Amino acid sequence: MKQSNYFSLKFVRNDSPGENDKLVFLDQTKLPLEEKYIETEKYERVAEAIEKLEIRGAPLIGISAAYALALSIKTVNENFTEQFYTAYKRLSDTRPTAVNLFFALKTMKDIFEENKDSANLYEILLAKAKSIHKEDEEFCCKIGRNGLAIFKTRATVLTHCNTGKLATGGDGTAFNVIKTAFENELVKFVYADETRPLLQGSRLTAFELEKCGIPFALLADSSAAFLMKQKKVDLVITGADRIALNGDSANKIGTYNLALLSYHHKIPFYIAAPSTTIDRTIASGDEINIEYRNKRELLAISQSQILSPSYNAFTPAFDITPSHLITGIITEEGVFNFPYNFIR
Ligand code: MRU
Is it the case that residue 63 has pLDDT exceeding 60?
yes
Q: With 60 as the cut, is the pLDDT of residue 15 above it?
A: yes
CB distance 331 to ligand 1 below 6 Å? no
The CA 111 to ligand 1 mean position distance, Å, reads: 27
Nearest in space to 39 (alpha carbons), one of 13, 58, 59: 13
The reported pLDDT for the residue numbered 4 is 58
Amino acid 342: pLDDT: 79
pLDDT for 343 equals 67
Residue 216 has pLDDT above 70, yes or no: yes
- Tell me if 100 CB under 6 Å of ligand 1: no
- Residue located nearest, by CA, to atom 8 of ligand 1: 252
pLDDT at 250: 98
Q: What is the mean pLDDT of residues 82-98?
A: 98
The mean pLDDT of 310-323, rounded to a whole number, is 98
Mean pLDDT of the chain: 96
Which ligand 1 atom is nearest residue 174's CA?
15
Superfamily name and number for 9-139: translation initiation factor eif-2b, domain 1 (1.20.120.420)
* Residue 92, pLDDT score: 98
CA angle at 260 for the pair 257 and 265, rounded to the nearest 5°? 120
CA 82 to ligand 1 centroid distance, Å: 31
CATH 1.20.120.420: which residues of the chain?
Answer: 9-139
> What is the position in ligand 1's atom list of the atom closest to the CA of 272?
15
Share of the chain above pLDDT 70, in %: 98
CATH 3.40.50.10470 domain extents, the chain: 141-337
Atom of ligand 1 nearest to the CA of 252: 8
CA of 115 to the centre of ligand 1 (A): 33
Show which residues are catalytic: 241
Q: Is 168 in the pocket of ligand 1 (CB under 6 A)?
A: yes
pLDDT at 1: 45
Q: What is the CA radius of gyration of the chain?
A: 20
pLDDT for 240: 98
Contact 201, 160 (CB under 8 A): yes
Going from the C-alpha of 54 to that of each of 123, 127, 172, 198, 276, the distances in angstroms are 26, 24, 17, 11, 22
Residue 173 contacts residue 272 (beta carbons within 8 Å): yes
Q: Locate the ligand 1 atom nearest the alpha carbon of residue 204 and give its number.
A: 3
Q: Say if ligand 1 is within 6 A of residue 167 CB.
A: yes
Model confidence at 107: pLDDT above 60: yes
What's the pTM value of the predicted model, to 2 decimals? 0.96
At 116-169, the pLDDT tens digits run: 999 999 999 999 999 999 999 999 999 999 999 999 999 999 999 999 999 999
What gap in Å lies between CA 104 and CA 264, rounded to an integer?
37
Calculate how far, in angstroms, residue 317's C-alpha sits from the geometric centre of ligand 1: 9
Give 77 Cα–ligand 1 centroid separation in angstroms. Answer: 37
CA of 14 to the centre of ligand 1 (A): 31
250 C-beta closer than 6 A to ligand 1: no
Atom number of ligand 1 nearest to Cα 175:
15
Q: What pLDDT is recorded for position 302?
A: 82
Decide the pairing of beta strands 328-331 and 334-337. antiparallel
Kindly report the CATH class assigned to 141-337.
alpha beta
Residue from 31, 173, 196, 200 whose mutation best tests the ligand 1 pocket (most atoms within 8 A of CB): 200
What's the confidence (pLDDT) of residue 344?
Answer: 60
DSSP 327-341: SEEEETTEEEESSP-
Whether the CB-CB separation of 171 and 181 falls below 8 Å is answered with no
> Averaged over 211-221, what is the pLDDT?
98
Mean pLDDT along residues 10-27: 91
Q: Per-residue pLDDT tens for 229-283?
A: 999 999 999 999 999 999 999 999 999 999 999 999 999 999 999 999 999 999 9
